[in-house]
Amino acid sequence: MTAIAFPAPDAKVLARRDAIVAGLRAILPAEAVIDSEDERRAFETDALTAYRRMPLAVVLPSSTAEVAAVLAYLSREGVRIVPRGAGTSLAGGAIPQEDAVVVGLSKMNRILDVNLPDRTMRVEAGVTNLAITAAVSHEGFFYAPDPSSQLACTIAGNIAMNSGGAHCLKYGVTTNNILGVTLVLLDGTVVEVGGDALDAPGYDLLGLVCGSEGQLGIVTEATVRILKQAEGARPVLFGFATSEEAGAAVAAIIGAGIVPVAMEFMDKPAIEICEAFAKAGYPLDVEALLIIEVEGSDAEMDAALARIVEIARRHGVKTVKESKSAMETAAIWKGRKSAFGATGRIADYICMDGTIPTGQLPFVLRRIDEIVKGHGLRVANVFHAGDGNLHPLILYNCNDPLEAERAEQAGNDILKLCVEVGGCLTGEHGVGIEKRDLMRHQFNEADLAQQMRVRAVFDPAWLLNPAKVFPLDGRIAA
């Protein structure tokens, strides 16, 4: 696949490669600078594996001071920088370019402080999402945003993409669960944005940094909010004969004043793929499946579920299956959270991430089916039904260039559809390179210009993750 363009590498920078690597070795320990081709190859792509570029070099700093020294040096030398957490971006947010140095945060993975009375933690930004929860789960606390890649993905990447997850209907996304970050600016200046109090003075720079895709600086530490786990949690499977009925049930549940902690939707192809992988007991004789999770004491969950089941019955639910044990609960979530991995076992796929107004669900699902079939391909749909965040998985064969191109075209058509019905290009994966060239479908020139002027405050020369988010033409430098 070559549909997404990369800027031509800067020949002058390529020619200075040895000097730049030597400059990096002068400020970092030897093991923190990677320049052999074999080792650099591990960093040439992320989870958008159809695209790859060999970076100029890779550095793996161990402290904020080292990150600051690296940025000061590279910005002085006019060398482009691609920040990287765990490299799990589905949007190509961490894909390098030939004239850029990858700054990876994987060595900065320490938990620095746990403050249970204030319900906060201070962590280095390379710590994984799940490791944050793991550090406090024995006390009954957890960090709420739970992207499916949480075993591998870092909080740095979560902040860069403002990641969500299955449970953000109730708990919000990353920006709602962070209090402060240490941010290294392009010139190496270290600033504390926010802190451990709820309010920070001045403009909401923390909110701006969340979702900025590594374009404003590099986050090296974060103060996150943690929450006490509910007394209990119980997912229930609801099978429907049509996705229209499932969609109507979701609307009716919210209309009744119930906001379950999660409401996940899978269509028939997704159910089959996930059931074959996880053996979660998903019903195979339905067209649409909702996984609805409620929390609380046993009596509270019984009461909430009774209300939800009653609503589901009014909307023609065919199957209702409650989790009866912790093992069943784990299997139910394993199936959903491995949807991408399980799909990868049967075919290559690209995963879309548009969000739509939930009222448009039946229409959009029908159109997605038509669009993908129109390109001669198959699709499996999993999505967060409560908030309208879709993840159509378009199946194709990556060894067939024509098919790959058609898959990409189908994906673009789906994202345009999301914008047309009032939604957006990306709900939680970010723009990266993947959706960069579609930005003008969602924003007009004035909208983009205002964003780029703010970007230029931090990086007037477009050195930080420069090939991402904004179309390559018409860029504003200051």
Partner 1 sequence: MTILAPGSEEEAASLVTDSAAARQPLLVAGNGTKAALGRPVEAATILSAAALSGVTLYEPAEMVIGARAGTPLAMVEAELAARGQMLPFEPMDYRPLLGSSGEPTIGAVTACNLSGPRRIMAGAARDSLIGVRFVNGRGEVVKSGGRVMKNVTGLDLVKLMAGSFGTLGFLTEVIFKVLPRPETEATLVILGLSDRDAIGAMSAALGSPFEVSGAAHLPDGDGGPRTLIRIENFASSVDYRIGELQRIGGRAETQVLDQESSAATWAAIRDAAMLVEPRERAVWRISVAPSRAADLVSGLRRRLECRVTYDLGGGLVWLALPVGDDAGAEAIRPAVRAARGHALLVRAPDALRAAIDVFDPPAAALQAVQAKIKAAHDPAGILSPGRMYAGM
What number of chain residues touch partner 1 (CB under 8 A)? 94
Amino acid symbol at 474: G
Residue 69 near partner 1 by CB under 8 A: no
Site for partner 1 in 273-292 (CB under 8 A): none
**Site stretch for partner 1 (CB under 8 A), options 47-55, 236-244, 296-304, 325-333:** 296-304
Cα(187)–Cα(67) distance, integer angstroms: 11
By CB under 8 A, the residues from 324 to 363 that bind partner 1 are: 355-359
Tokens of 243: 């996705």
Q: Which of residues 386-445 bind partner 1 (CB under 8 A)?
A: 387-389, 422-431, 435, 439, 442-444
Of 39, 113, 192, 420, the residue at the interface with partner 1 (CB under 8 A) is: 192
Q: Does 115 bind partner 1 (CB under 8 A)?
A: yes
Of 7, 26, 54, 228, the one binding partner 1 (CB under 8 A) is 228
Residue 456 touching partner 1 (CB under 8 A): yes
- Looking at the Cβ atoms of 373 and 453, the one nearer to partner 1 is 453
H or E segment to which residue 382 belongs: strand 378-384
Pair of tokens at residue 253:
């549940």
Interface with partner 1 includes 313 (CB under 8 A)?
no
Residue 350 in tokens: 């690209």
Question: Applying CB under 8 A, does 64 fall inside the site for partner 1?
Answer: no
Q: Would you list the DSSP string of 391-460?
A: EEEEEE-TT-HHHHHHHHHHHHHHHHHHHHTT-BS-SSS--TTTTGGGHHHH--HHHHHHHHHHHHHH-T
Of the two residues 80 and 436, which places its CB atom closer to partner 1 in the complex? Answer: 436
Which position among 173, 181, 236, 262 is part of the footprint of partner 1 (CB under 8 A)?
173
| Residue among 38, 257, 324, 399 that touches partner 1 (CB under 8 A) | 257
CA torsion 324→330→333→337, rounded to 10°? -170
Nearest distance, CB of residue 145 and partner 1, angstroms: 11
- Both structure tokens of 421: 């019905």
Nearest Cα to Cα of residue 32 among 133, 132, 131, 104: 104
| Min separation Cβ 160 and partner 1, Å | 9
Q: Is 310 in the site for partner 1 (CB under 8 A)?
A: no
For residue 239, give every residue at least 6 positions away whose Cβ sits within 8 Å of its Cβ, in sequence order, or none: 283, 285, 286, 288, 289, 317, 318, 319, 320, 321
Of the two residues 44 and 428, which places its CB atom closer to partner 1 in the complex? 428
- Write down the least CB distance from residue 444 to partner 1, Å: 8
As a whole number of angstroms, the distance between CA 157 and CA 135 comes to 19
